[in-house]
Amino acid sequence: MAFKRLAAITGAGVLALAVASCSSTGGRPDSAGGGDGGGTVDTPRKTIAMITHEVPGDSFWDLIRKGAETAAKKDNIELRYSNDPEAPNQANLVQSAIDSGVDGIAVTLAKPDAMAPAIKAAIDKGIPVVAFNSGFDNFKQMGIQEYFGQDEKLAGIAAGERLTKDGAKKVVCIIQEQGQVALESRCAGVKQGFKGPSEILNVNSKDMPSVDATITAKMQQDPAVDTFVALGAPIALTAVQSKTNAGSNANIVTFDTNAALVDSISQGDVQWAVDQQPYLQGYLAIDGLWLFLNNKNLIGGGEPTLTGPSFIDKSNIDAVAELAKAGTR
């Protein structure tokens, strides 16, 4: 059921992307410029702030930033990237962007309540705001005009359905930051889609040795758990180490990728990953703002533009591995 709904929505997203790809070269290309897609447009120089809840050391965010930088180079955009994993600090970065007079803001909404006042301040100033990666359930009510990412609940359901199909019997979903709405939605989706018992294991991603110890202890205490679902590549890679420490036979699956995670799938240490295409999220966030600033276009027509979920596993890992080496997957 989740995949039928996903196919319909993703089809619209692909169409929107195709339109964006055509429209984003609407200005006359400048062959002296550069970007992964060719020259740059001749539209006026604009400044866009991209503000994320990036956790230091998580290379997932490198993919988002590279996508944003590629679009900015093509679109004659000055990109100001900043990040802070603490929501109040992230909100302060939004306010600083407003005060500096940027033309647009792209932001993640891991903790939307904390971000709401700063987002309202931007909108009240007439600054267009788009959300990406986190905020599927909240962007509309906050007045944000576009969202690029995945429906985290739907992604979780798809993962849970796949676990059932894979024959999993008991599942633990690992949340690395309590209160982060996207992570909680993923685990809620896994519980809904999986036809067996599931539990949540809370860990602290700011202390990776404790993450290792907590997962190792759970594997030792409950050998009936045959699958651990990580919600990010660093947690999945740590779980692989925990599996060795515990002498466990449990499978490891995850949401999100990075180059090291792709290698782990190739080697069979991680069974599969739910991919939300972070490079594409960063690219579309900047390109979407460029389209709006120059032509008042709205990708998705006010509805979310989905970039996932899809699965990366042994069947397609070779093609993805080549792209991961280039830093785009």
The tokens for 196 are: 């067996």
pLDDT at position 30: 41
pLDDT of residue 28: 40
Q: Where are the domains of the chain?
A: 2-150+277-309, 152-275
| Residues with Cβ within 8 Å of residue 275, at least 6 apart in sequence | 256, 257, 308, 309, 310, 311, 312, 329
Phi, psi of 206 (to 5 degrees): -80, -5
CATH of domain 2-150+277-309: 3.40.50.2300
**Gap between the Cα atoms of 235 and 184, Å rounded:** 15
Q: Model-level pTM?
A: 0.84
Q: Compute mean pLDDT per 10 residues along the chain, 329 residues long, and list them.
A: 42 39 38 47 96 88 96 98 96 98 98 97 98 96 97 97 98 94 96 98 95 98 98 97 98 94 96 96 98 97 95 94 86
CATH topology of domain 152-275: Rossmann fold (3.40.50)
Whole-number pLDDT of residue 39: 65
Say how far apart CA 116 and CA 78 lie, in whole Å: 25
Cβ contact 201:172 at 8 Å: yes
Residue 233 contacts residue 252 (beta carbons within 8 Å):
no
Residue 93, CB half-sphere, CA atoms under 13 Å: how many? 23
CA distances from 190 to 91, 157, 227 (A): 30, 5, 12
Contacts of 174 (CB under 8 A, 6+ apart): 200, 201, 202, 203, 215, 228, 229, 230, 231, 235, 239
Residue 327's pLDDT is what?
A: 84
Q: What is the pLDDT of residue 265?
A: 97
- Same fold: 2-150+277-309 with 152-275: yes
